[in-house]
Amino acid sequence: MTVLREIAAGVHVLRHPVLDVNATLIVGGEAALVVDTLSTARQAQDLLAAVRRVTPLPLAVVNTHHHFDHTFGNMVFAAEGAPIWGHEEAAALIGPGLRDRAMVEHPDLAADIACLTPTPPGRLVRTSVEIDLGDRVVELRHLGRGHSIGDLVTIVPDAGVVVAGDLVEESGPPQFDDAYPLEWPDTVAALMNLLSPQTLVVPGHGAVVGVRFVAAQHEQLAGLAWLIREGDQDGAPAERVAAKSPFPQEMSLDAVKRGYVQLNKP
């Protein structure tokens, strides 16, 4: 049985075993918010059942970014009448092309992915939006580009919780496939400005963390960005720069190449 764990008053987290991805439920007095909907309709149906064991309230959904493991359950919640919130850039990327890419990159999930309809957010955020759940106001904020072009963080001020999506990763290193490695450190720095020593941060993948973990990851991201800028200035091959990275070399190579492209755009 899929079970949500309460980490703060009215804030529950599901750490799903497939890709170790997190979904979060925020319960207010009149409505509840589900942050991210997992990878497939089957996973989302299990998530919805778990949510309904916690609350019967009307639901809304937030997508932290466009990647399939955070959005491909949207259709299940949309069928329940839940409005879906997301950054405008993220919404533009959720479609058949994203589904085809996910099927190639995750063949173990391909059969389940093939039969779903990618459902982008219909409630779009550019910089920030407040959602009133009844006796609890939740804020959605786009702090800048980082893991993707359209990252959103979900802030629950009265509970001392921030849902960071893949701007923060606990169970594995950051992924740079379509990231902005030169901007990511500044975006995480802006995130850190929202945190107190007691704030709980729900990462996109892995265990709930605190400000010290976020600060350590920011230092690593900033170090990689510095290496990319220095390597570009010196004309160093991307492979040589990636070998110095604080993250595994293979994914760091993606970061260096993307950084070089950004630095050399006309």
Q: Which residue numbers in the chain have pLDDT < 70?
A: 1
What are the tens digits of pLDDT across the range 158-204? 999 999 999 999 999 999 999 999 999 999 999 999 999 999 999 99
C-alpha closest to that of 28 among 63, 54, 64: 54
Distance from C-alpha of 205 to C-alpha of 159, rounded to nearest angstrom: 20
Q: Which domain holds residue 78?
A: 5-210
Give the length of the chain. 266
Here the CATH number for the domain that contains residue 202 is 3.60.15.10
Strand partners, 210: none
- Evaluate if pTM is beyond 0.95: yes
Q: Specify the number of domains making up the chain.
A: 1
- Greatest CA span in the chain, whole angstroms? 59
Asked whether residue 163 is domain-assigned, the answer is yes
Asked whether residue 151 is domain-assigned, the answer is yes
